[in-house]
Amino acid sequence: MSELSLSPVLTSAGLAAVAAAHGQGLQAKITHIALGDGGYAVRDATDAPLAAAQARTDMQSEQVRVTVYAGAIPGPQQIVVEARIDAGKPNFWVKEVGFFLEDGTLFAIWSSDALNLGFRGDLVPWVFRFALAWTQLPENAVTVEFSGDAGYSDLWGLLNDHITSKDPHPSQIEPAFRTDCEPCLLEFAEPGENLPAPFVFSQPGKGIGFNAAGQYTMVEPGRQRDWFDAETREYLGKLTLPTYRNSCANWNATPTDTTGVQGPYGDANAVLTVVDDTQELGKVHILKQLLREGTLNGNVFKVDNSLGSSSVYVAIDGNTSSPGAVTTISAWCRTTNGGRIDMAGGFGAQNFTNSEYERIHKTVDMPDDRSGKCAIIAEAGSTVWFILNQCEVNAAPSFVPVITQGAAAVTTADVLTIGPVEIGDNLVENGTFDADLTGWINPDGYWQWSSGLAYHPSGDELKPLYWPITPGKRYRVSMDVELVAGQFNVFTDTDAATTGTEISIRNIASDGNHSFDFTAQGSMLGIRRAPVVVTEGYIDNVRIVELVPFEGWDSDAKGHTFLIDAFSPLGTDSATNLMQVYDDTNTNTIEIYEFRHGDVKDIRSSYRVGTNRLFCDTTADARDELTVSRTEHETLSVKSASSPLQTTFAENRYPLGLCRILFGKLWWGPQSELTIKRFAVYNLPLSDSNLNAMVKK
């Protein structure tokens, strides 16, 4: 089912019909939806309704009309309607949608001269849910009349459940993952909603994202970006982006003068100005919403070289300050007779001849003694208009522009993680030492009980105090420390009776509460004086608790299975880190990442245990979105829909202490552009048959 949030225009006839019904204490009823292929604007560049659209009493080119078979009223000035358009004739591109009342009055109209919603053909029926909202009508003035078709008799209730339910797609869970085993974590991304706990999202500042129409829009701090297919408007998931930097020091979105732009240089007849180009910007679908929101004020930079006999250029203040770095410059440009975008100084320009705005970019491997700086060139006899110029140390232009306001700007990376969380009770049953040292292993009898504290007498001998733990798990330990002299050392050990098996975690050299995480390399946590330091002191309130990525994760399982529905929005020839599960160090990790090459991609899953690596690779169709990775103590498997199941074997390679999941980034590399729609984790290595089946959808 396609889900569309349209911005229709209420017609004058529709408003009059609603007012008449309201005056009689009645509600106007929407009973039919019609689709057509007439494409025209119903709103201006500021999103205000056009008078011609308000005056309509019928559609320009209606092709098919059907009854509403389901609906819901999520708010007093909002309705949701569903309709089914059967496959068949006529075939047409849908550019027009009309909403009709029970008396045949056209209540609202939506259309676009630049966007179509899809194609009505002979093979596939259309089932749509339309969301409409308004402010110029009384509350509860409009309702939806269900068509009464027995074949859809339960859809009204299901639709209301969909809107109010935390999990609006319960029936999709089983076929989407095709296994009888229950996952310990399963989440579907929903448009307009942040992924819920246990996902943790960090995007501190505003940044450009996308709306359901595939247009740029400003996304508020703390909100996750959504990503929709540019043609079909299908929802594809949550979009996470890396840090982007723009070193240009002008006002690249809302210029009022030429501050920050130098030149023009090269021909005395050339003129640099700032002009209003709202009409031309409004022709570019992806930029329209930025105009409506005011992120773009409609002004652009104009380099008029129409009277010139040689080319001219302007340069933007600011540079990458990274000599020898791979640098990309970009800008939205249009021209009358040719232009170029280049690094100031000339390193091989990108030519453009487009008469409407397009994003033009050029990447240069800068010489070791030069830094990147943006230049816009107008050929002899030509004029160039540009906006949203950008200069960045990167091998490709940022996925979305970075807004500058007279100085270089940085957008902080979207970071999507899960965990770690504490589970279970404090493992230390006598961490407060109320009466004695009961439960603690004190092999040398060196530690003493003293007034509700564990006391380490002054000395230079390595005499530890132990508490049992489970090897291979991740823990958080905290304790209160009071030092008279020296330092304490916290460590793990495999044998209290044997020296030389200790692995140091941390030295504590100050009073107060100390807390830190560690991966257990042995079966005991020990506390002793730091080596070569005479130590005397006290400890109290010792707490040890296990860490896992989320509640429901089984750290004692013999393996796990991860299914991730994710891909890179960059398309071909890109490397994307899908997911990493790790112990918050570079020692123990499970990784899944992919490399696209045209129509195929290489998918790699790997273990990292210390310096040892275990890789499992497969090659798949680049259009595959679902990837599944199975982990066991001695095997690693990976598969996508179009690839065969690959399995690699190696002894004693299973990573320890796994407590955090990170999406779109590996601990050792940069953040990647990533879209994630579904994610599931199972507390066991699923069978081959399950792995082969569950990636089919």
pLDDT of residue 669: 62
Q: What is the mean pLDDT of the chain?
A: 86
User: Which phi and psi angles does 198 have, rounded to 5°?
Assistant: -90, 10
Residue 159: pLDDT over 70: no
> Do 117 and 49 sit in the same domain of this protein?
yes
**CA distances in angstroms from 578 to 204, 223, 367, 587, 689, listed in the order given:** 22, 20, 33, 19, 24
Same domain for 160 and 11?
Answer: yes
Cα atoms found within 13 Å of the Cα of residue 129, Cβ hemisphere only: 17
CATH number at residue 381: 2.60.120.260
**Which residue range is the domain that position 514 belongs to?**
448-548
| pLDDT at residue 589 is higher than 80 | yes
CA distances from 311 to 89, 264, 340, 452 (A): 55, 10, 10, 84
Total number of domains constituting the chain: 4
Check whether residue 17 and residue 120 sit in a common domain: yes
Query: What pLDDT, in 10s, does the model give residues 539-579?
Result: 999 999 999 999 999 999 989 999 999 888 887 677 788 99
Predicted pLDDT at 145: 67
Give the residue ranges of DSSP H helices in 62-132.
none
Ordered DSSP codes for 147-196: ---GGGTTHHHHHHHHHH-SSS-HHHHHHHH--SSPPSEEEE--TTS---
**Same domain, yes or no: 544 and 571:** no
Per-position DSSP letters for 475-522, written without gaps between them = EEEEEEEEEEES-EEEEEES-TT-TT--EEEEEE-SSEEEEEEEE-SS
What does the pLDDT average to over 494-520? 88
Query: Could you report the per-residue pLDDT of 8-67, keeping only the tens digit for each?
Result: 888 999 988 888 887 777 788 888 889 998 889 998 877 788 999 999 999 999 999 888
Same domain, 607 and 539: no
Q: How far apart are CA 343 and CA 331, in angstroms?
A: 12
User: Looking at residue 179, what is its pLDDT?
Assistant: 53
DSSP code at position 576: E
For residue 439, is it within any domain?
no
| pLDDT (0 to 100) of residue 642 | 86
**Residue 582 pLDDT greater than 90, yes or no:** yes
Domain identity same for 543 and 591: no
Tell whether 175 is covered by a domain: no
Mean pLDDT score, 142-157: 51
Residues 6+ apart with CB under 8 A from 372: 247, 319, 320, 322, 325, 327, 328, 329, 343, 364, 366, 391, 392, 393
Other C-beta atoms lying within 10 Å of the C-beta of residue 140? 12
| 67: nearest Cα among 29, 105, 32, 30 | 32
How far from 15 is each of 5, 52, 79, 108, 677, CA to CA, in Å? 21, 15, 16, 9, 39
Domain endpoint, select from 127, 147, 164: 164
Residue 20 parent element (H or E)? helix 12-23
**506 falls within a domain:** yes
Q: Say which residues have a Cβ less than 8 Å from residue 231's Cβ, sequence separation at least 6.
A: none
Cβ-count burial 615-625 (b if 16+ within 10 Å, e if not): ebebebebebb
Rg (CA), the chain: 32
**Helix H or strand E encompassing 597:** strand 588-597
Residue at 419 is within a domain: no
- According to the model, what pLDDT value does residue 232 have? 74
- 3 state DSSP class of 19: helix
CB 245 within 8 A of CB 325: no
> What mean pLDDT is predicted for residues 252-273?
96
Instruction: Inform me whether the pLDDT recorded for 334 exceeds 90.
Output: yes
Number of Cα atoms under 13 Å in the Cβ half of residue 303:
35
CA dist 433 and 447 (Å) reads: 12
Instruction: Please report whether residue 49 resides in a domain.
Output: yes
CATH of the domain at 678: 2.60.120.200
Percent of the residues in the chain that have a pLDDT greater than 90, as a whole number: 49
Virtual torsion, Cα 641, 643, 648, 654, nearest 10 deg: -30
Give 90 or 391, the one with higher predicted confidence.
391
In DSSP terms, which residues pair with 567 in a beta bridge? 675
The pairing of strands 235-240 and 225-228 is antiparallel
Tell me the C-alpha distance between 629 and 149, whole Å: 44
The per-residue pLDDT for 76 is 65
Which range has the top average pLDDT, 167-176, 351-360, 455-464, 570-579?
A: 351-360
Preceding omega of 49 cis (within 30 degrees of 0):
no
d(C-alpha 304, C-alpha 559), whole Å: 66
Q: What is the C-alpha to C-alpha distance for residues 217 and 254, in angstroms, rounded to an integer?
A: 15
Q: Distance between terminal CA atoms of the chain?
A: 15
pLDDT-derived band at 158, boundaries 50, 70, 90: very low
Q: Is residue 239 part of a domain?
A: no
Look at residues 360, 394, 411 and tell me which one is the last residue of a structural domain.
411
pLDDT tens digits, one per residue of 638-691: 988 888 899 998 776 788 999 999 998 765 566 788 999 989 999 999 888 888
Q: Any idea how long the chain is?
A: 697
163 pLDDT above the threshold of 60: no
Taking CA atoms, 229 is separated from 226, 416, 422, in Å, by 10, 22, 39
Residue 43 near residue 6, CB atoms below 8 Å? no
Q: Report the pLDDT averaged over residues 102-130.
A: 78
Predicted confidence at residue 638, as pLDDT, reads: 92
**Is 6 in the same domain as 147?**
yes
DSSP state of 307: T
Q: Are residues 73 and 106 in the same domain?
A: yes
Percentage of residues in the chain with pLDDT exceeding 70?
Answer: 88
The CA distance from 548 to 657, in Å, is 8
Do both 277 and 306 map to the same domain? yes
Give the pLDDT mean for 387-405: 94
* 620 within some domain: yes
Q: Which of 189, 187, 198 is nearest to 224 (CA)?
A: 189
What is the DSSP-derived secondary structure letter of residue 286?
A: G
Beta-sheet pairing, 382-392 with 635-640: unpaired
One domain for residues 273 and 392? yes
Give the pLDDT mean for 91-120: 85
Confidence of residue 73 (pLDDT cuts 50, 70, 90): low
Q: What is the pLDDT of residue 170?
A: 38
Give kind and range of the element (H or E) at residue 13.
Answer: helix 12-23
Q: Are residues 256 and 404 in the same domain?
A: yes
Q: Are residues 384 and 512 in the same domain?
A: no
The residue written with tokens 């008396």 in the block is 103
Residue 360 has pLDDT above 90, yes or no: yes
Residue 186 has pLDDT above 70, yes or no: yes
Task: Determine contact, residues 402/267, Cβ cutoff 8 Å.
Answer: no
Whether 286 is in a domain gets the answer: yes
The predicted pLDDT at position 139 comes to: 72
Domain closes at, from 132, 164, 196: 164
pTM: 0.73
pLDDT score of 89: 82
For residues 546, 550, 554 and 557, what is the CA-based torsion angle, rounded to 10 degrees? Answer: -110
Instruction: Give phi and psi for 156, each to the nearest 5.
Output: -60, -50
Selection from 323, 299, 318 nearest residue 261 by Cα: 318
- Kind and range of the H or E element at 23? helix 12-23
Which residues have CB under 8 Å from 593's CB, separation 6+? Answer: 575, 576, 577, 578, 603, 604, 666
Instruction: Please calculate the CA angle 64-69-71 and round it to the nearest 5 degrees.
Output: 115
